[in-house]
Amino acid sequence: MARIYQVPSHTRLWLALAVVLCSLPQLVKGPLWQAGLLVLVILIRWLVEQQRLMLPGRMVRSLLLIGAVALTFYSFGRLYGPQAGVALLVSLFALKYLEVVQQRDAYVVVVLGYFVCATALLFSQTPGMFLYVVLCMTVLTTCLVGINHSDTRASGLLHGRRAVVITLQAVPLMVVLFLLVPRVAPLWNMQVGGDKARTGMTDSMSPGQISELSESAELAFRVDFQGDVPPRAQRYWRGLTLSHYDGRTWQQAVTQGQSESEYLYRRGTEKPDWYQRLESRYSSEQQRYRYQVIAEPTQRRWLFSLAVPFPLDGDMALAKDMRLVANQPVSQRFAYRVESVPAAAEAIGLEGQERQLMLSLPQDGGSRARGLAQQWRLESGTAADSARDIAQRALRYFREQPFHYTLRPPRLTADPIDEFLFRTRRGFCEHYASSFTFLMRAAGVPARVVVGYQGGEQNELGSHLLVRQYDAHAWSEIWLDGQGWTRVDPTGAVAPERIELGLREALENSEDGSDVLDDLGLRRFSDGGLFATLSQWMDYVDFRWQTWVLGYDSAFQYEFLEDLLGAVTPVRIAIALIVAVTLLMGLYALFLLWQSGNEKLTLMEREYWRLHQRASERGRPLVAGLTPMQLCQAISEQWPQAAVAAENWAKYYQKLHYDPLSPPDKQQKRHLRSLRNRLYKLLD
Amino acid sequence: MQLPAPIRNLYERWLARRLPPARQIVLDQRRIFIFPTGYGFFYLLVAALLFIGGINYENNLILALSFLLASLFMVAILHTFRNLSALGIRNGGSESGFAGEEGALEIVLFAQRREHHCVWLRWRGQDDQQISIRRGEEESLWLNLPLAKRGRVMAPRLKVESRFPLGLLRTWSYVSLDHYCLAWPRPEESLDCPADGGKENQQAFSSGQSGNDEFQGLRSYIPGDSLRRVDWKGYARGRGLNTKQFEEPVGGRLWLRWDCLQGLGEEKRLSVLCFWILQLDPQRQPYGLKLPGLTLAPDTGDVHRWRLLDALASYPDF
């Protein structure tokens, strides 16, 4: 084309807006110089368009480019990897905008804009971000409309309107494609490192750690139950079991010499003995819970579930201590489906070295506690259920002695167990779990500490549970002959409302009461009021977004298509896709191509044309442009017997049609029609 | 892009059959073709890349973004098509020219049902001209046409093209208008005036004084009368348009005659006649033209000259 093109003036503003909007999500979290670069570029462009500045030459642009690359390297230490790559892309985007002269340049800017939008979705996948990206796409489409509209009289606002129409029409098609286009397995594996530190469980427990967590209302995970929801007091989300105690800290431990394959069962690998026993219980037990957990990123491999979890998805393993382990650290929101069978726990045995581990205690410390445990041991004798009896005694001890449940326990310095049990007697769940487990081991009952979350708040809009960081909890499990690992929660003995109602209610009743709650901003949901309703709604939307949009993977899609199509075969999917797209496109075509069709005839015009047509059919063809009177004459000439009727019709027609004051009412119309019908009969 | 000759001929024949010439054409789906532009293909490639990215990062939102791009493309098909659909095109005026130079044809575009933005018109080998038509309005456009040889030059197949609104797709149609441009003969100098009546040679009226004419009276204006002879003063006084009548010049009527050019080829004769028409025109002496089968009475003025030139151009089918 020999035409000389420049980006039309009515589009320049849109282009600038597109560049700013698309870059914004990256600018907010990227280094400051990026925003500076964009501001500089926009300023130069503005001056150029005001004709106060020449468009920067190749030299200046190269310098800016080199500068941007250097700053990227300076900020990120490298030029590859997600963060640095995106920073580089956003800089290139701005620099490309700087040199837009021709239509082709503008096209390149728009395409870069698409990529920048996509990278924004790489780091944030909230509904808000997606809406924002759709907004950016609309602005980019506006730019496309603008650069293809080189009329000088075109207006920028009309471009916007056109782009909105096009985008709105594209969205339903996008939904169809999203639902129906088959999900393919990744061609190669890529992970975006969400390397930001988060609050969450660590793999050990020492006094004060969980109470720290309790100060956060951040979401830990959500659970969507299919069918029964267990009562609150049974909702113990097991994360880790800790079996080694060094006098201060509980840690994870595995028996010496045990290999991973003995300890972890992954689908498709050889089944260890303990799993085979579990499996036989799995099929015979009736009571089970089926649910999906959507975990927030923790950067850890352990997952949370009710006892005894059986994974329904492939990318995790079951450990012998009845918990789930993900194949990779959870760096993004991660959804997994589980079936839990509480009663299956007793199928797991405890022998030899493992039993030794569960009884092990540090060399020193807690001498008074050991004494107390020995006393209980003697008192309860050697009966088969002596272990249970000892546990009852310990719980009674917690209940009857003046123990307090508090978020702000005094510091324990030298001998945490004895100090807590006999002196301060104020503590949080980790103190109770720790000292209870210590007492059990000292009395010869195999025991371990379990950390995880307890409870979870139900969203009234959906059926799902929300488990927040402040639901973090620690409790104990003891080994009972014939029952296997049995959960004992000493906190429940001291503050039963913690278990029945949750942390908030427990604290409200306790002595350090509601000021702590206010401090921590723990008054969420269920406090009533508009804010609570709103936050419930927001959570509900976010949750549905998680499960239906972000979690719409190949398995979910398969289920959905099975419901929709009966059977999932490539042919059926293809047909469904074609039918849906064709239907939508047909609808749009109808709307777009017929919308501004020929003007509709008015009733009077129709009346005229009907007679005209009938007369033409019965006799000689008539020319089109006749007045009613001429039409009447033409009819009289051909059918003399109809002359009077024709004249009646024509006069009445004119009377109705040319009366400017009153449009014809219903009765008059009917009369006209009857005149016409009378005339019809004479035209033979 | 040049196709091999046999395929090209087949294609041309197919097009001619599919799109027969007419004086007025309203574009409909039978006449409109649509295909992605280079940028459209690039855009689809970007959508595909985002799809692969979404699959690899297992990121449903990036997948959704790629689907949104694809959907925009599909919707753009309809919008691009719509921009050309129902556009009406008909013959306008024509401007003749000498063979070897350029003439021009006027194309009138009318929009009955909707607006049409940024429509490009051109015929083969020419630059595009862009035009936008508002709903219910007409716009016209003059397109230059090279005139290779004398005679009627039919309008070539007109390409009507549009990329509006997104530039992802190109929709076009070929329009064969039953429209032509007259190519006058290229003037060829010749010393002998092929004329009789008046004096036998050119010098006879080289003085060209209007004193030769005797004012005779007025008659009412007939379209085609030389504007120089309109009684403008009278018109200004409200007497209506009248043409001044003059007595026949002293020298009598001057006739340019085909027959005076015996022995020359047809085109040569026409070229010489053309040359003399151009020579005589500034003299303001009435001159007429006799061609086999057509006689044009002597007169002066632009309209007369054009009529004579057009007669030469259309010879022998007037």
Residues B172 and B121 in one domain: yes
Q: Which of A495, A511, A530 is the last residue of a domain?
A: A530
Looking at the structure, do residues B77 and B20 belong to the same domain, yes or no? yes
* Whether residues B179 and B59 fall in one domain: yes
> Is A536 within a domain?
no
Residue A371 and residue A482 in one domain: yes
Where is the domain boundary, A115, A145, A180? A180
Say which residue the tokens 């969420």 belong to.
A524
Residue B31, pLDDT > 90, answer no
Q: Tell whether A523 and A632 lie within a shared domain.
A: no
pLDDT value at position B149?
86
Q: For chain A, what is the mean pLDDT?
A: 84
What pLDDT does A119 receive? 92
Would you say the pTM of this structure is higher than 0.90?
Answer: no
Which positions 510-539 of A are in contact with B (Cβ < 8 Å)? none
In what helix (H) or strand (E) does residue B303 lie, and over which residues does it extend? helix B302-314
| A485 and A609 share one domain | no
Same-domain check for residues A172 and A222? no
> In 10 A of CB B131, how many CB atoms?
18
- Residue B34 near residue B170, CB atoms below 8 Å: yes
Residue at a domain's end among B165, B184, B203: B184
Binary contact (B166, A141; C-beta < 8 A): yes
Residue B136 and residue B149 in one domain: yes
Which of A2, A550, A588 lies at the smallest CB-CB distance from B75?
A: A588
DSSP state letters, A489-542 = -HHHHH-HHHHHT-HHHHHHHSTTHHHHHHHHT---TTS-HHHHHHHHHHHHHH
Range of the domain at B55: 13-184
B227 and B147, same structural domain?
A: no
Give a yes or no: residue A598 inside a domain: no
* DSSP class of B192: S
A46-77 tens-digit pLDDT: 998 888 888 888 898 999 999 999 999 998 88
Instruction: Tell me which H or E stretch contains A582.
Output: helix A570-594
Same domain for B206 and B218, yes or no, is no
Mean pLDDT of A533-539: 79
**Which residue is catalytic, options A22, A117, A143, A429?**
A429
Which of B52, B69, B166 is closest, CB to CB, to A114?
B69
Residue B294 shares a structural domain with residue B218 = no
Cβ separation B118–A150 shorter than 8 A: yes
A241 and A166 assigned to the same domain: no
Residue B177 DSSP one-character state: B
Confidence of residue A527 (pLDDT cuts 50, 70, 90): low
pLDDT for position B156: 87
Residues B53, B108: one domain? yes
Task: Enumerate the β-bridge partners of residue A485.
Answer: A479
| A433-482 tens-digit pLDDT | 999 999 999 998 999 999 999 888 877 766 788 888 888 888 999 988 88
A35 with A113, same domain?
yes
pLDDT at residue B295 is higher than 80: yes
CA closest to B47 among chain A residues: A114
- Number of structural domains found in chain A: 3
Same-domain check for residues A229 and A114: no
What residues does B50 pair with on adjacent strands?
Answer: none
Q: What is the pLDDT of residues A299-355, one digit of tens each?
A: 888 899 998 898 887 788 888 888 898 888 887 778 888 999 888 888 888 877 888
What is the SS3 assignment for A403-423? CEECCCCCCCCCCHHHHHHHH
B166 shares a domain with B266:
no
Q: What is the pLDDT of residue A167?
A: 96
Question: Looking at residue A521, what is its pLDDT?
Answer: 47
Residue B6 lies in a domain: no
pLDDT band at A3 (very low <50, low <70, confident <90, very high): very low
Total structural domains within chain B:
3
Kindly state whether residue B68 falls inside one of the protein's structural domains. yes
User: Does residue A429 carry a catalytic annotation?
Assistant: yes
Asked whether residue A248 falls in the same domain as residue A375, the answer is yes
Q: A30 with A84: CB under 8 angstroms?
A: no
Which residues span the domain enclosing A278?
A: 204-530
Cα–Cα nearest to A392, from A355, A439, A357, A429: A439
Task: Specify whether the CB–CB gap between B288 and B78 falls below 8 A.
Answer: no
CA distance A67 to chain B (A): 28
**pLDDT band, residue A208 (cuts 50/70/90):** low
Name the domain boundary from A530, A562, A582: A530
**Catalytic residue (one of A473, A539, A542, A632):** A473
Query: Half-sphere exposure (CA, 13 Å, Cβ side) for B220?
Result: 2
Least confident of A42-46, A84-88, A456-460: A456-460
| Residue partners of A139: CB distance under 8 A and separation at least 6 | A14, A17, A18, A21, A22, A163
Note whether B61 contacts A125, CB cutoff 8 Å.
yes
- Give tens-digit pLDDT for A604-640: 888 888 888 888 888 887 877 788 888 888 888 888 8
Query: Do A317 and A464 belong together in one domain?
Result: yes
Torsions phi, psi for A282 (to 5 deg): -55, -45
Q: Do B241 and B192 fall within a single domain?
A: no
CB contact under 8 A, A189 and B56: yes
Say what the ipTM of the complex is. Answer: 0.79
Same domain, B140 and B78: yes
Q: Which helix (H) or strand (E) holds A241?
A: strand A236-242
B181-208: per-residue pLDDT in tens? 899 998 888 877 777 765 544 444 433 3
Q: Residue B5 domain-assigned? A: no
**Which of B225, B248, B271 is the C-terminal boundary of a domain?**
B248
The beta-carbon neighbor of A592 closest among B78, B128, B166 is: B78
CB < 8 Å to B74, chain A: 170, 173, 581, 585
Q: How confident is the model at residue A512 (pLDDT cuts 50, 70, 90)?
A: low
| Contact predicate A149/B165, CB 8 Å | yes
**Does residue B105 share a domain with residue B237?**
no
The dihedral over CA atoms of A626, A627, A633, A637, expressed in degrees to the nearest 10, equals 10
> How confident is the model at residue B1, as a pLDDT?
55
A50 and A143 fall within a common domain: yes
Q: What is the mean pLDDT of residues A276-291?
A: 84
